[in-house]
Structure 1
Amino acid sequence: MAQEVRGVIARAKGAPVETTTILVPDPGPGEAVVKIQACGVCHTDLHYREGGINDEFPFLLGHEAAGVVESVGEGVTDVAPGDFVILNWRAVCGQCRACLRGRPWYCFNTHNAAQKMTLADGTELSPALGIGAFAEKTLVASGQCTKVDPAASPAAAGLLGCGVMAGLGAAINTGGVGRGDSVAVIGCGGVGNAAIAGARLAGAAKIIAVDLDDRKLDQAKKLGATHTVNSGGTDAVEAIRDLTGGFGADVVIEAVGRPETYRQAFYARDLAGTVVLVGVPTPEMRLELPLLDVFGRGGALKSSWYGDCLPSRDFPMLIDLYLQGRLDLDAFVSETIPLDDVEGAFERMGRGDVLRSVVTL
């Protein structure tokens, strides 16, 4: 029998979000109902509200979440009621061409719950990234639940579900940052600062944070940046070269998603260096680069999807590092808020006042 719970929806493009009653069905085969304890307010949720992802309104927002499995459907063996889990949007299928080639972090056929959550009048909801966790409970595919140590704070743990994992993975998995490398990160919001933390974990010798906001640069220092550059009054490319002996950084991570900052990243890397794009551009953006420069500078130009993470591998490992005091996930939690304050959190995000607002239930 379906349960009535409170959830935050975006009913129409650009309209303020609203808290309303949603119906969560009992889990079917391969599904799980999760009682949400915390969910981060990610910029992707705002993209959904603004119609930047698709137009399948109304959306049940929220996806960066942790909670406890309440019930599971037929055939579920990977999680059980009572398990503390982080939700993910890469429930690997095990059967697509990426999975069969041993690259499940690229899974091209990730799956979500087959059933739909609805409004009280029966209107079907589109859950953000197949999760929909700005709600007291949500229905997901069991593969979207990754069991981790329950000693972790839900507010911190849930951030691995999207933004923090994207940044950490951009440095560690996609960029392959290694001991002694020089790294530059352009854009020091939640994802960029997570990339800085990832570079620090990987043993980078020099980590250069670039942003227009001194508040974000101060936070970057706390998370591992060895140098900062305010690009508002300084040429970022020249500054990065000056800090790396005139050569450029071994790995440059672009966490903004704009052509201007991508060009900076391209020219701020050393010969044979790596550029990682983890910032999400909008559909109309275009990039022009001299093809000779692409050839002549060598190296690699990569895009990072979800930090190229494999949740079953990466989430438990990163939670262990957090509990050991080696990864400060708590530093990303700027504030905890009630479910009714998501619209206010979007406003604070837009002003750059927070790394992450986290809804706690």
Structure 2
Amino acid sequence: MPHEVKAVISREKNAPVAVETIVVPDPGPGEALVKVQACGVCHTDLHYRQGGIGDEFPFLLGHEAAGVVEAVGEGVTEVAPGDYVVLNWRAVCGECRACRRGRPWYCFDTHNAAQKMALTDGTELSPALGIGAFAEKTLVAAGQCTKVDPEASPAVAGLLGCGVMAGIGAAVNTGGVTRGDSVAVFGCGGVGDAAIAGARLAGAARIIAVDVEDRKLEWARGFGATHTVNSRGTDPVEAIRELTGGNGADVVIEAVGRPETYEQAFYARDLAGTVVLVGVPTPEMRIDLPLLDVFGRGGALKSSWYGDCLPSRDFPMLIDLYLQGRLNLEGFVSEKIALDDIEEAFNKMHRGDVLRSVVVL
């Protein structure tokens, strides 16, 4: 029978969110019902609330979540009731051209639950990134559930569901950072700091954090930055070159998503170096680079979508590294809050006061 639970709803563009009762169906074929234990407040949720990701209001927000599977539908074999899982928004199909070529992290046909969750009056909800986890329970495709070690607390495990995975993956999967590399990261919010943590895990010798706020640069040091540059008063390209023997960094990760910082990242890399764009731009943004520079500097210009991750491979590995004390996931949790504190959490995020507020249910 359907489940009535409390959830955070965004009814219209730029309006404050509210906690309301919603109806969650029992899982159908290929679906799983998950009792949410914790969910991070990600900037993507704010984008939904602001109307920056479609206009299919009302939205059921939340997607960086961990919880326990309560029930599964027909044909589900990958998870079972009682499994502790991190939710992901890329349930790979296994059949598209990317999956058939052995590159499922590029899956072109990811899927979500077929059934819709709804308000009590029957109005269908659009779940953020196909998850909708600012809720006591949510319905997802079974492939969106990745089993991990239950020793990891939900407040930290759920962060792998989006921002932390995006940053770590940008460094390790997309950027290919390896032992001895020099790495520069533009933007030291949650994603940028995760990229710094990923570079550290990969054995980078020099990790240069760039931001306009000293407080964020101090956070970056806590995740492994060896040098910091406040670009409000210092040319970051020149500073990075000075810190790398005049050459530029081997891998430069842009975690802001703006044309001006991307251009700085482009010129801050070494010849044949790699630039990774993981910051999310807005539709109107454009970049203008001399084509001769693109050709003459060689290397690679890449974009990183979800850190080019494969959840079934990457989530359990990163949780294991966390439990071994090698990955500081706790450092990303600025505060733990309740469902009705999310609007204020958006305000703190906008002001740059937090890396992550985490809703604990």
| Structure 1 and Structure 2 fold alike (TM over 0.5) | yes
Task: Please list the CA deviations of residues 202-256 of structure 1 after superposition, one character each: whole Å capped at 9, or x if unmatched.
Answer: 0000000000111111010010000000001000100000000000000000000
Q: Corresponding residue for 1:180?
A: 180
Cα distance, 1:79 vs. partner?
0.3
Q: Corresponding residue for 1:51?
A: 51
Task: Please list the CA deviations of residues 306-333 of structure 1 after superposition, one character each: whole Å capped at 9, or x if unmatched.
Answer: 0000000000000000000000100000
Aligned positions of 1:108-257 closer than 5 A:
108-257=108-257
Q: When the two structures are aligned, how many residues end up with a matched partner?
A: 361
Q: Corresponding residue for 2:98?
A: 98
Q: Corresponding residue for 1:16?
A: 16
Cα distance, 1:180 vs. partner?
0.1
**Aligned-partner SS, 1:52:** coil
Q: Work out the CA distance in 2 between the residues paired with 1:36 and 1:359.
A: 10
Q: Work out the CA distance in 2 between the residues paired with 1:9 and 1:203.
A: 42
Q: Work out the CA distance in 1 between the residues paired with 2:9 and 2:106.
A: 29
Q: Corresponding residue for 1:294?
A: 294
Q: Give the letter aligned to residue 180 of structure 2.
A: G
Task: Please list the CA deviations of residues 234-280 of structure 1 after superposition, one character each: whole Å capped at 9, or x if unmatched.
Answer: 00100000000000000000000000000000000000000000000
Q: Corresponding residue for 1:38?
A: 38
Q: Work out the CA distance in 1 between the residues paired with 2:175 and 2:9.
A: 35
Q: Give the letter aligned to residue 194 of structure 2.
A: A
Aligned-residue RMSD, C-alpha: 0.3
Q: Corresponding residue for 2:76?
A: 76
Cα distance, 1:102 vs. partner?
0.4
Q: Work out the CA distance in 1 between the residues paired with 2:39 and 2:328.
A: 18
Task: Please list the CA deviations of residues 75-127 of structure 1 after superposition, one character each: whole Å capped at 9, or x if unmatched.
Answer: 11100000000000010000001000000000000010000000000000000
Q: Work out the CA distance in 1 between the residues paired with 2:106 and 2:8.
A: 30
Are 1:328 and 2:325 counterparts?
Answer: no
Task: Please list the CA deviations of residues 31-74 of structure 1 after superposition, one character each: whole Å capped at 9, or x if unmatched.
Answer: 00000000000000000011111000000000000000000001
Q: Work out the CA distance in 2 between the residues paired with 1:165 and 1:2.
A: 32
Q: Corresponding residue for 1:277?
A: 277
Q: Work out the CA distance in 2 between the residues paired with 1:247 and 1:328.
A: 31
**Aligned-partner SS, 1:65:** strand
Q: Work out the CA distance in 2 between the residues paired with 1:77 and 1:94.
A: 15
Q: Work out the CA distance in 2 between the residues paired with 1:153 and 1:211.
A: 30
Q: Work out the CA distance in 1 between the residues paired with 2:178 and 2:322.
A: 20
Q: Work out the CA distance in 1 between the residues paired with 2:216 and 2:143.
A: 35
Q: Work out the CA distance in 1 between the residues paired with 2:228 and 2:135.
A: 38
Q: Work out the CA distance in 2 between the residues paired with 1:152 and 1:202.
A: 22
Q: Work out the CA distance in 2 between the residues paired with 1:108 and 1:10.
A: 28
Q: Name structure 1 gaps, 5 residues minimum.
A: none
**Aligned-partner SS, 1:274:** strand
In the TM superposition, structure 1's runs of 4+ consecutive aligned residues that sit over 3 Å from their partners are: none
Q: Work out the CA distance in 2 between the residues paired with 1:173 and 1:279.
A: 16
Q: Work out the CA distance in 1 between the residues paired with 2:146 and 2:22.
A: 24
Q: Work out the CA distance in 2 between the residues paired with 1:288 and 1:98.
A: 30
**Aligned-partner SS, 1:124:** coil
Aligned positions of 1:336-355 closer than 5 A:
336-355=336-355
Identity of aligned residues (%): 84
Cα distance, 1:354 vs. partner?
0.3
Q: Name structure 2 gaps, 5 residues minimum.
A: none
More divergent stretch after superposition (189-198 vs 211-220): 211-220
Q: Work out the CA distance in 1 between the residues paired with 2:296 and 2:277.
A: 20
Q: Work out the CA distance in 1 between the residues paired with 2:155 and 2:264.
A: 34
Q: Give the letter aligned to residue 77 of structure 1.
A: T
Q: Give the letter aligned to residue 253 of structure 2.
A: I
